[in-house]
Each structure stands twice: as structure tokens, then as C-alpha cells.
A and B are shown apart, each in its own frame.
Chain A
């Protein structure tokens, strides 16, 4: 399992819960923006219509007054309006054809010449709060047949202010919606992540050999609890099956070893008897050797079964693979040299969590394989290196190697690739594969050009067997790969 396949729980922003929350937050923000924007536009246009209506009505009334009473009538009316409390912010101006003021509350014609637009907007200066302020005005002008023009308008600063406030309130509302949504998303994703992490940690500990452990059930009867209960049910079932299988293996071992032991005892007794000639003695020697070989095969099968059941992890501990490799290489070196091979190792201190006896068996099998198959004169080089992924053990030889198409097959039980050497049970590499799997290590058969290079890639371990907080391996999958 490559580290890239591990779910990266270290980052809250990469969880699906957070992404979903952000998507919802965006959608919600867009909806709120659209809603508030529509209200803003509608309110604006309603307010503007109201102003325009008032102006139009007043303009009509004044034009009627002009028609009926003439210039004097309207001047009197405008003066009256100016001096009475009329409507708030009302602006009037009557000018003669030369645009000189005749009546009204504006000091002068606010335009150069006569504007063509029907609706006009301009600023007036007014004395207010002890200073001059500029107020916006919206107005409309009618021209009478005698060339006089009447301007009726409304000072709209309040409307503008209202719109401005509405706009900023809208922006604040949208902003806080987005912020609140994002915070909610983060909180939600953290909460979900905590649950997922608890489940992952439990799974990891189960994979690491703590078969009695179960997934945490929070008691809130949510979907996580439903999942945990279902998985726990499966785990209990698997546990029962493993126990049955283990008991079966134990009794099978017992029932096979008992008779073998008796057989061996009888043969040894026979061997000690004086009535035996040389031929009989050598037959018994061969029979005893056969018993040894049966016993060895049985031991390997049981080891494979044990490694596959994962029970051996209970006895695993942190150990220096480099030291173990050095020890075993030194143990095998004289025997290899006696067979005309060269065996050496190059190790560095590399910690792995492992079962010492099974790892010893793995190394022994790899070295024995190399010694048996690399052929006389071959060089066997064993290396142990700590790398980014963990610890890499490599047993390389420059013998004939294994063709790419046979590599997968080589890992299967009872398969012997070369008929020339029929030593061994054909279980060696299967045991290696099972032990590698038990340690969550990848077993790779690579090309040493020429020769075979067997790689066992262990994952990084943390000191004190501590559960890894961030990198949580998935449940074990077959990790036996044959790569070119």
C-alpha cells in the first residue's frame, strides 16, 4: 500500500463534509444575495416612482393654476407654498423666457440653457448643520406657451441615504452568511472527522493484531453508529471464525505430530537395536530424514496459517531489522561460501514492528532461496535501508532470476519454478508472502539485471507502538505484487 493511498485526515479542508458544507454555503450565499438584491432594486424603484408621482401631480396642479390664473396666480401660489409648511423637500422655480427667476424657493436656474431630458437630477447647496451641504434633487420642468418655465422637484437626499444604508446592510448580511456558513462547515467537518478518525484508529489497531477491539459506538444512533454496529458484527463473526480455524490448526498439528513422534520414537528404538545390519540402519536414517522433512513442511504450513490469521501480531515488538539481517547473513555466510557463493549485507539501523521469529524465517527463506537458485559463483547482496515509505529490505542475487511472467506464480504455494533443484517444499516464498502480509509489508519480485531482487517494503513505524495519528492504513488488501 503506497502512502499516497492513505486517506489524509490531517487536513480538515479536504474532507468531503467540508466540501459539501462549502458548496451549501456558496449556494445559500448566492440565494441570499439574489433575494436581498431584488429587494434593494424593488425598493429603489418604488421610492423613485413615489417621488416622481408626487412631482407629476404637483406639476399638473400648478400648470392648471397657470392656465386658470396666469402668471400672477402661479407666483402667488408659489409664494404661498414657500411660506406655508408644504411637503418636505419640495423645490419650485418659475423662470421667464430668459431663465431669470420669477418665483420659487431656488435662488437661480440650476442649468446652463434648457436641458432636453424630461427628468432632471441636480445638486443644490443648502445651509444646514452650520455649513453648506449639497443635496441631490430630482425635478421636472414644464414650458408654458408664453415661454415661462416651471420646475418642480424634490430633494431626495433621504432616499439616497436610505438606499446607501440598505446597500451596506445587504452586503453585511451576505458577508456574515458566507462566514457563518464556512464556520459551520468547518465545525461539521471536524466533528465528522473526529468520528471517522476514531473508527480509523480502531480499524488500524484491529489490523495491527488487537482483534478484540471494536469500533466505537457513540450512542447517538446516527448513521455512524449504524455503520459501527454493522462492522462490529462482521468483526465478531470473523473473530469466531479465526478462533475456529486456529483451534482446527492446533488440533491438526497435535494429531499429526503425535503419530509422527511415535513413528520417530519407534524408528529410533529400532536404530539402537544391535540386530540391525548396515542396510537396515541406512534405511532408518533415510526414514528419519523423511520425518524431518514432513515435520518441516508441517511447521511451514502452520506458520503460513498463523501469519495469515494475524494472531502472531500479538507477540510483535519493535525491533532493529538491520541487526536481525546482519545476524542472519552472518549465520548463512560460511555455508554460502562453502557452496561457492558470496553472501554479504549492507544494513543500517531500521526499526520495524514485527514478529522476530517470523521475520527470521522470512529472511532465512529469502537467503536460502537465493543460495539454492542463484547458482554457483553468484553474489548475494542483502540490504536494509530506511526510506520515505518505511524500511526496505532487499535480497538481490545475480543468478538466472525469474522471468516476469513467472513472478506471480512463484509466490503461490507448492510451486517450484526450476525442476533442476527439487530441494525445499515449494512453500518458501508463500511463507515469505504470508509473513510480509502479516507485517503489512509489500513483497516485490524485481529484476536485478541479471538476477532476482526480492524486496520487502515495510511501512514506517512510530516509536512505542503508538497508533499513527495521521496516516491510517486501510484494511489489509493483498499486497503481493510482481513488478518488472
Chain B
């Protein structure tokens, strides 16, 4: 997987590059907007990560130019700006995801992974399966080992979100954005309580746990196999 990072802060770039490379990606780096746009149009990348405020050219302008040229490479916009509407503007300009600095590196990693998977395309399907857990998306019912699981509508949406991204780390902010459609940073850890209730329903009484906690990052639904 080839990624392009457009970031003018050398220290931040070093840290992000190191982390992404450790995560198994091959990453190229552009230090200003003009160079970034040039590389983005020339090279073949699976995803682009760009800062918003860059010398010569703004990050959002890069995204707009790319989209006008018909390039559909997923773009993750990083921003140190404070405006609550920056995210909306970033997405409107054609960005696929938006992350405000500072962020935990796992957050970036999880989002990059989600972008790359999304590029692979969502499969049009009516059932999802992980191990012996089966989700009927039309009837909005979940069964585990053939037994119906009693879930509220929100719990089903939460489980569906996780199962669709089976094997991927999903962070708490991603869940807030994706399941609750909320962009805010709650003081208390609300998501953990919801997950633990979901666990009660899905994993209790089974030897094989499907919903795993990734320490310091979030959650992953995964069938570890036997």
C-alpha cells in the first residue's frame, strides 16, 4: 500500500512517517502544497494524507484540484485549525475524512486503514458474518450460533458498524461519528459502556470472544479462530 503524506512540519512529518512505515505502509513525503499536488497527480497512491495549512497551497485546494481532475484517491485531511466547521468544509471540498491535531497515532492508523478498505468498495450484501455471528441487515436481526440475540436498534447499528469493519481497529471517535453521527469529544467514556453492553449480548456465554478491545485505540471485531 502506497501512501502520500503532505506535511510541512518536519518533526510531525517524521513522527507520522515513522508510525505509518512501522504499520507496514510505504509512504512518500511532500513538504509543501505545490510539491504535494505534483506528486499526488503524478504518482499512484492508495491514499493521501494532507495537512491543511501548507506553504504555497492550502490542503483543501489540493483536494479540490485532485477531485476536479477526476482523481478519486481517498484523502485524509489533518488540521490544526480550531473551527468547528473546518471538518464540514474539509469533507465538502472532497476530503474523505478529517482529523484534528493533535491526535493519537492509533487514531490516524485506524482511519487510514478504514479509507483503504472503503476504497476496496462496500459489498452489496444483506447478511454479514464473523465467525458464528450472523447479521441480517434487512430484518435488522443478529444471531449467534443460530440463536437470536436481543439487541436495541442502536446496538444493532453499533454491531453492524463493527462487523462491517471486521478485522479493523475502530476508534471511539470513529464510532461516535459513524454510529451516532456526532462530532464531539465527550468527557466521560460513553462508548465503552455501550460496547460493554453489546458484549454482554454478543459474547456472554461463548468461549470465543468476538469483540476485542485494542488498548489505547478502540475495538475490533475479529474471529480469532481455533
Binding site for B on A (CB under 8 A): 249-250, 252-254, 257-258, 260-266, 268-269, 288, 291, 295-296, 298-299, 302-303, 305-306, 311-312, 314-315, 327-328, 330-332, 334-335, 338, 355, 357-358, 360-361, 364, 368, 371, 423-424
A358 touches which of B84, B180, B190 (Cβ 8 Å): B84
Q: Interface with A: B12-20, B27-35, B129-137, which one? A: B12-20
Segment 95-117 of B: residues with Cβ below 8 Å from A: 100-105
**A residues near B16, Cβ cutoff 8 Å:** 265
Nearest chain B CB to A469's CB is how many angstroms away? 29
Please give me the residue from chain B that is nearest to A252 by CB atom.
B82
A337 vs chain B, min Cβ distance (A): 8
Question: A322 → chain B, closest Cβ, in Å?
Answer: 16
Q: Which residues of A contact B104 (CB under 8 A)?
A: 264, 268, 288
Say yes or no: A262-B18 contact (C-beta < 8 A), given A268-B104, A306-B83: no
- State whether A298 touches B101 (Cβ < 8 A): no
CA A368 to CA B194, docked complex, whole Å: 16
Is the Cβ of A360 less than 8 Å from the Cβ of B182? Answer: yes
User: Which residue of chain A has its CB nearest to the CB of B106?
Assistant: A268
Contact yes or no, B15 A265, CB < 8 A: yes
A-B contact pairs, 29 of them (CB 8 A): A250-B83, A252-B82, A253-B80, A253-B81, A257-B80, A257-B100, A258-B9, A258-B12, A260-B102, A261-B103, A265-B11, A265-B12, A265-B15, A265-B16, A288-B104, A299-B100, A299-B185, A302-B82, A306-B84, A306-B85, A311-B83, A311-B85, A312-B84, A335-B189, A338-B193, A358-B84, A361-B184, A364-B184, A423-B187
Check B183–A265 contact: CB distance below 8 A.
Answer: no
Q: Using Cβ atoms and an 8 Å threshold, which residues of chain A touch B184?
A: 357, 360-361, 364
> CB-CB < 8 A to B187: which residues of A?
296, 368, 423-424
**A338, B186: Cα distance in complex, Å:** 16
Asked if A335 meets B188 with Cβ closer than 8 Å, knowing A254-B81, A312-B84, A330-B154, the reply is yes
Chain B residues with Cβ under 8 A from A361's Cβ? 184
Asked whether B15 lies within 8 Å of A262 as measured between CB atoms, the reply is: yes
Q: Which of A269, A305, A335, A368 contacts B15 (CB 8 A)?
A: A269
B21 interface residue per 8 A CB criterion: no
**Interface: B151 (CB within 8 A):** no
Central interface residue in B100, B180, B190, by most chain A CB within 10 Å: B190
Identify the closest chain A residue to B80 (Cβ).
Answer: A257
Chain B contact residues (Cβ within 8 angstroms of A): what range?
Answer: 35 or more
**Taking CB as reference atom, which chain B residue is nearest A263?**
B102
- Chain A's closest residue to B190 (CB) is A335
Asked if B53 is an interface residue, CB under 8 A from chain A, the answer is: yes
User: Complex formed: what's the CA distance from A303 to B194 in Å?
Assistant: 27
B201: shortest Cβ distance to chain A, in Å?
13
Residue in A288, A295, A335, A424 with the greatest tally of chain B CB atoms within 10 Å: A335
Top 3 A-B residue pairs of the complex, sorted by shortest distance between their CB atoms: A253-B82, A265-B15, A302-B82
| B214 partner residues in chain A, CB cutoff 8 A | none
Q: Are B197 and A334 in contact (CB under 8 A)?
A: yes
Nearest Cβ on chain B to A28's Cβ, whole angstroms:
58
B65 contacts partner chain A, Cβ-Cβ < 8 Å: no
Residue of B nearest to A271 (CB): B216
Q: With an 8 A cutoff between CB atoms, is B88 at the interface?
A: yes
Task: For A269, list chain B residues within 8 Å (CB).
Answer: 15, 18
- Residues on B with C-beta less than 8 A from A328 are 182
Q: How far is the CA of A268 from the CA of B15 in the complex (A)?
A: 9
A6 to B174, CA, bound (A): 44
**B51 CB to closest chain A CB, in angstroms?**
10
Q: Is the CB of B190 within 8 A of A332?
A: yes
Minimum Cβ distance to chain B for residue A457 (Å): 23
**Are A262 and B193 closer than 8 Å at their CB atoms?**
no
> Are the C-beta atoms of B101 and A257 separated by less than 8 Å?
yes
Which chain A positions have C-beta within 8 A of B82?
A: 249-250, 252-254, 257, 298-299, 302, 305-306
Decide: B188 and A371 in contact? CB cutoff 8 A: yes
CA distance A296 to B185 in the complex (A): 8
- Give bound CA distance, A249 to B80, whole Å: 11
Let me know if A368 and B186 touch, CB within 8 A: yes
B81 touches A265 (CB 8 A): no
Measured between beta carbons, the chain A residues less than 8 angstroms from B181 are 327
Q: Which residues of B contact A252 (CB under 8 A)?
A: 82
B180 nearest in chain A by CB position = A331
- Contacts A260-B101, A265-B15: A364 and B81 contacting too (C-beta < 8 A)? no
CB B22 to nearest CB in A, in angstroms, measures 8
Could you say which of B102, B185, B190, B197 contacts A257, with CB atoms under 8 Å apart? B102
Question: Nearest Cβ distance between residue A82 and chain B, in whole angstroms?
Answer: 109
Name the residue of chain B whose CB is nearest to the CB of A423. Answer: B187
Q: In the assembled complex, how far is the CB of residue A326 from the closest CB belonging to chain B, in whole angstroms?
A: 11
Q: Select the residue from B80, B82, B83, B187 with max chain A CB neighbours within 10 A.
A: B82
CB distance from A253 to the nearest CB of B (A): 3
With A and B bound together, what is the CA distance between A258 and B88 in angstroms? 21
In the complex the two chains form, is B88's CB within 8 Å of A266's CB? Answer: no
User: How far, in whole Å, are A358 and B15 apart by their CA atoms in the complex?
Assistant: 32
- Is A312 touching B102 in the complex (CB atoms < 8 A)? no
Residues of A within 8 A of B18 (CB): 269
A261 engages B81 (CB within 8 Å): no
Question: What residue in chain A is nearest B181 (Cβ atoms)?
Answer: A327
- Whether the Cβ atoms of A315 and B85 lie closer than 8 Å is yes
- Name the B residues within 8 Å of A358 (CB-CB): 84
Please indicate the chain A residues that have their CB under 8 angstroms from the CB of B105 in the complex: 265, 268
Q: How far is the CA of A347 from the CA of B12 in the complex (A)?
A: 46
Complex interface bits, B117-161 against A, C-beta within 8 A gives 1, otherwise 0 = 000000000000000000000000000000000000010000000
Whether A254 and B85, one on each chain, are in contact in the complex, defined by CB atoms closer than 8 angstroms, is no
- Complex contacts, B12 vs chain A, CB 8 Å: 258, 261-262, 265
Residues of B within 8 A of A357 (CB): 84-85, 182-184
Besides A261-B12, A265-B12, A355-B84, 6 new A-B residue pairs in contact (Cβ under 8 A), listed by A number = A261-B102, A268-B19, A305-B82, A334-B197, A361-B184, A364-B184
B185 lies within 8 A of A266 (CB):
no
Interface string of B185-217 (1 = CB under 8 A from A): 111111001100100000000000000000000
B85 and A314 contacting across the interface, CB-CB below 8 Å: yes
Shortest Cβ distance from residue B92 to the other chain A in the assembled complex, whole angstroms: 10
Which of A295, A302, A315, A330 has a CB less than 8 Å from the CB of B102?
Answer: A295
